[in-house]
Structure 1
């Protein structure tokens, strides 16, 4: 449901930069693809938490179209949504 596609971009100095087409605030990097995707999960959760704090609508993920995806931790996502719903308007 919340599988966000990522772009893995080879970095000039080695490793990979990770960006999210649907969440432009989430950018990270890693020494290899596995590390980059692990860091991407944290970057996504952090960026989405800013959406919640600012009471902005969470961006829905687009179709992966063959790209790798990152899914925020279900507990973290549930806490963010709960916080958003209970915040004063």
Structure 2
């Protein structure tokens, strides 16, 4: 659903990454495997910048030669979808809190990529926007 392509760069015996779709996302590691494992956290941190600045989160594009795909966890992908649906509807966090008869704090947690919200809460928020969550299984 949300798999971003990252380019791996080698420098001074370690590795770092860049992402065309989310230029704010970076990660590092002593090996390519460590770098790719760290890339999820780098993407989540960068996505937080988009939410903090009120910007829509870009959808991932197809990888080009030499890029590696980094898959966002399902809950994070659902939260990204929620955020983008809010942006499309012109809805602020306070508007969503009112629509859900909830507190601002609960809505903040729904949009916090590091908070382990219940998926049912994200589904309810999407439903308030006239959207529903769809899950699919793909070959690894």
**Normalized against structure 2, the TM-score is what?**
0.56
What's the offset of the Cα at 1:65?
2.3
CA–CA distance in structure 1, aligned partners of residues 62 and 83 of structure 2? 27
Could you list the structure 1 runs, at least 4 aligned residues long, displaced by more than 4 angstroms after superposition.
none
Is residue 94 of structure 2 the alignment partner of residue 88 of structure 1?
yes
- Structure showing greater radius of gyration is 2
C-alpha distance in structure 1 between counterparts of 2:18 and 2:47, whole Å? 14
CA shift at 1:61, angstroms? 1.2
Query: Secondary structure of 2:8's partner?
Result: strand
Give the aligned length: 88
Residues in 2 aligned to 1:64 and 1:82: alpha-carbon distance in whole angstroms? 24
Q: Supply the distance in 2 between the matched residues of 1:4 and 1:58 (Cα, whole angstroms).
A: 12
Partner in structure 2 of residue 5 of structure 1: 5
Contact 1:52/1:80 (8 A) holds in 2:
no
Alpha-carbon deviation of 1:77?
Answer: 2.9
Greater length-normalized contact order (CA 8 Å, ≥ 6 residues apart): 1
Q: Structure 1 length as normaliser, TM-score?
A: 0.83
Name the CA shift for 1:52/1:81 in 2 (closer, same or farther; >3 Å). Answer: farther
